[in-house]
Amino acid sequence: MENATIKNPIICAIDTKDVQAAKNVVQSVQNSVGAIKLGLEFFTANGAAGVNTVAGDTPLFLDLKFHDIPNTVAGAIRSTAGINAFMLTIHTQGGKAMMQAAAKAAQDLPNKPMIIGVTILTSMAQEDLEDIGLKNSVSEQVKKLANLAQESGLAGVVCSPHEIEILRAQCGKDFKLIVPGIRPEGSSAGDQKRIMTPKEAISRGADYLVIGRPITEAKSPASMAMSIMGGLSL
């Protein structure tokens, strides 16, 4: 599961379906961020060819959050063979057999992407869990799913800044924690409710920081990414 050698921990989230707009972002940040992230919106509109056009040689986190029966998820992972992503996401709620199948399928790919689990979407609150019949608190459920992800052979999970310490303590130092909801000092929170600065997230134990609009909407995305890196004093 080792292909995580990106030059720094900042992953720039590009949330658009527009190929040219995405290319422009990549061009301006490719020398200053460790990787870019493309997700469902972009992939659904432009497919693998669009992803490859935009990513080029820039390390890619392909965030498609697969969730289906084990055989289908394993097939979807294998179908990323033509896309050189170093990191892919699946939903941990698909269960152990699905996660194991995904981890195994990734090992069969030449680039051996890290398979990262999504636990509970941060858009879901306590009452949303109750609506789908889950009795645990959000944080209990996140810990339970992170543990299951680790037992199933996943490389790590996506978590909110406020879950970093608890998951780091539970899962040990080698389990990757990928953290969105990051806002540099002074930048707008946008629709993110539970935010943290890059420096604090790293000091609490995050491995990768997913940062979108603070970089993509900055006057100079490249300078913003460099200034975030500078502030991390790595």
What is the C-alpha separation between 126 and 105, in angstroms, rounded? 33
Nearer to ligand C5P, 47 or 190 (CB): 190
Single residue of 4, 6, 13, 77 touching ligand C5P by CB under 6 A: 13
Which residues share a beta bridge with 234?
none
State the binding string over 61-100 for ligand C5P (x if CB under 6 A, else -).
Answer: ----------------------------------------
Nearer to ligand C5P, 2 or 132 (CB): 132
To which residue do tokens 């997700």 refer?
A: 39
What is the C-alpha separation between 139 and 87, in angstroms, rounded? 24
What is the C-alpha separation between 107 and 104, in angstroms, rounded? 5
Q: Report angle CA 160, 164, 165 to the nearest 5 degrees.
A: 145
State the binding string over 19-48 for ligand C5P (x if CB under 6 A, else -).
Answer: --------------------x---------
Nearer to ligand C5P, 104 or 204 (CB): 204
Which candidate, 194, 206, 212, 101, places its Cα nearest to that of 158?
206
Looking at beta carbons, which residue is closest to ligand C5P? 212
Return the structure tokens found at 96.
Answer: 């152990």
What is the C-alpha separation between 115 and 106, in angstroms, rounded? 7
Kindly give the residue spans of alpha helices, DSSP state H, lying in 95-181: 96-107, 126-131, 138-151, 164-171
Stretch that binds ligand C5P, among 95-103, 138-146, 205-213, 226-234 (CB under 6 A): 205-213
Instruction: Let me know if 17 is a catalytic residue.
Output: no
Question: Out of 17, 23, 65, 199, which one is annotated catalytic?
Answer: 65
Nearer to ligand C5P, 74 or 201 (CB): 201
For residue 55, CA distances in Å to 28, 61, 88, 169, 212 come to 12, 10, 14, 34, 16
Interface with ligand C5P (CB under 6 A), residue total 15
Please report whether residue 122 would count as binding ligand C5P according to CB under 6 A.
yes
Tell which positions 136-195 bind ligand C5P, by CB under 6 A: 158, 160, 180-181, 190, 192
CB of 107 to ligand C5P, least distance (A): 25
Is residue 139 exposed (0-12), middle (13-18) or buried (19+ Cβ within 10 Å)? middle
CB of 121 to ligand C5P, least distance (A): 6
Where does this chain bind ligand C5P (CB under 6 A)?
Answer: 13, 15, 39, 122, 158, 160, 180-181, 190, 192, 210-214
Active site residues: 65
